[in-house]
Structure 1
């Protein structure tokens, strides 16, 4: 799978402080790439550099196999849609009139307006003044503007920010549908772990300006350290018996931690302890969730 975006050693310094540090980012074509990190980690700065809105202090950016520079920037941006921070609009105009201005500026067919409104489910509200739109409707109008020119690449910076649960779900469904329906590649940044988990096929985790993880979302979940937790009425004796019979274990926070075991092996362990008159009060299967993994990767620096 080819990469639509590749950065090599990307850096950005503000006031002598590196905000983005030696970033090697790879976004596969056709993916939904979740760019995950705490607030202030460098997500927006990175996306602005990819769009040519901020000049890198060092490093290289390739988009569609072309180097992002002053010579290629406009040609590259013709095939990118973006929504960075909050959407801009004319409140005294309707949703359709706002898109009409952008359609004229971008010189795309007028039919694209109808199609974009349909994609973001604003057709019934197209004649309403944007000043009277809800926050969720304004976000959807911003997404419609980003989709107007049928981009190959869509870059969304915190698109669910400030939305209520219903608005978050609606935006998530819209984003998940884009690669399947239109073959788009989507980069979506967020500090909401559950959102990235439900949307992304690939993920990059940034902390303090540095990329600390990059791979598929499935590989991230594989870091979950699946284990069993057992409680007994005599942990010291239970641990001694299990160790004697070759069952790996350790005591942690008043529980005996066991590796993943098949049902027959678990039953055997319980029988061993029962035969020694040690009551087993609880056995639980546990797995770290995405939030635990994220906090470990970012060394607790998240702003959740």
Structure 2
């Protein structure tokens, strides 16, 4: 059975009397890329800050590496966590390598870790350049290198592709996807973009208005994208009546008749039934509810999976 590297139980956080995180039960399996997905302001950053001990929970518990996070063992737990929360911090007048050298000294890790981290994020050729002259994508990669410096078991990234151009987004995504395979690392990454999480994550948690409304594997979420058939004829009301009389479940939606998923033989039977009744069939299409629709339903509270 896979161990959960991060587990929260009834986690809550209130600011100014308003509950921003509500009774959160999160489970991040070891070796996973866990996509923490939700609209801006849903409570993602607040949750990640509580897991890192940067914000104190109003209620609930946080277990990391099987240990209860508290004031006594927080620093011991953080030794095995790398994080990039909001925008990375750096000294602009120093080079990328010099910035990492400061962190390497503070964290008391081997100097060779600097070279390895620069290689992982593909900044070796830019290591002697002042960070003030880095592009936004390079600064994000330097922040990731800093998070990887101590070879953490758990990497926590808060909106790591924010502000990047398409090439930078793809590069950051490829780097993140590579970490569990190459280093056995577990990644907890937040985003408000479903398309990003869909291309990176093995597991997903969806948060809306501070509450976790969905949590499972990304494959399981894909299975929830229901498909149906859309049928258009020259006389939809009559066609619907004929199908209903024949026992075919259907629904009329605007100028289309919606049918459930049917086998090929059943589709052929429906078409023959209508044409034999003198109703011209104009079009029949297979449709699938996409993940964006499901995400909107979840975060707007219109549906619960």
Q: Scaled by the length of structure 1, what TM-score is found?
A: 0.97
Work out the CA distance in 1 between the residues paired with 2:67 and 2:254.
54
Root-mean-square deviation (Å): 1.0
Aligned to 2:175: 174
3-state SS of the aligned residue for 1:214? Answer: strand
Aligned to 1:9: 10
Displaced runs of 4+ in structure 1, greater than 2 A? none
Work out the CA distance in 1 between the residues paired with 2:73 and 2:215.
27
Aligned to 2:197: 196
Aligned to 1:217: 218
Q: Does 1:104 align with 2:113?
A: no
3-state SS of the aligned residue for 1:167? Answer: helix
Work out the CA distance in 1 between the residues paired with 2:73 and 2:95.
34
Gaps of 5+ in 1: none
Deviation, 1:227, is: 0.6
Matches within 5 A, 1:1-80: 1-80=2-81
Aligned to 1:250: 251
Report Cα offsets for 1:204-236 as digits up to 9, x if no partner: 000010111111111112221211111111111
Work out the CA distance in 2 between the residues paired with 1:280 and 1:27.
50
Deviation, 1:195, is: 0.2
Moved more, 265-274 or 103-112: 265-274
Work out the CA distance in 2 between the residues paired with 1:150 and 1:118.
13
Q: Does 1:86 align with 2:87?
A: yes
> How many residues of Structure 1 are paired with residues of Structure 2 in the alignment?
301
Deviation, 1:253, is: 2.1
Aligned to 1:116: 117
Gaps of 5+ in 2: none
Work out the CA distance in 2 between the residues paired with 1:101 and 1:300.
46
Work out the CA distance in 2 between the residues paired with 1:84 and 1:282.
50
Q: Scaled by the length of structure 2, what TM-score is found?
A: 0.97
3-state SS of the aligned residue for 1:277? Answer: coil
Deviation, 1:300, is: 6.8
Q: Does 1:184 align with 2:185?
A: yes
Report Cα offsets for 1:263-283 as digits up to 9, x if no partner: 222122111111111111111
Aligned to 2:154: 153
3-state SS of the aligned residue for 1:224? Answer: coil
Aligned to 2:143: 142
Report Cα offsets for 1:171-207 as digits up to 9, x if no partner: 0010001000000000000001100011111000000
Deviation, 1:146, is: 0.3
Work out the CA distance in 2 between the residues paired with 1:4 and 1:34.
14
Matches within 5 A, 1:220-231: 220-231=221-232
Work out the CA distance in 1 between the residues paired with 2:30 and 2:232.
48
3-state SS of the aligned residue for 2:100? Answer: helix
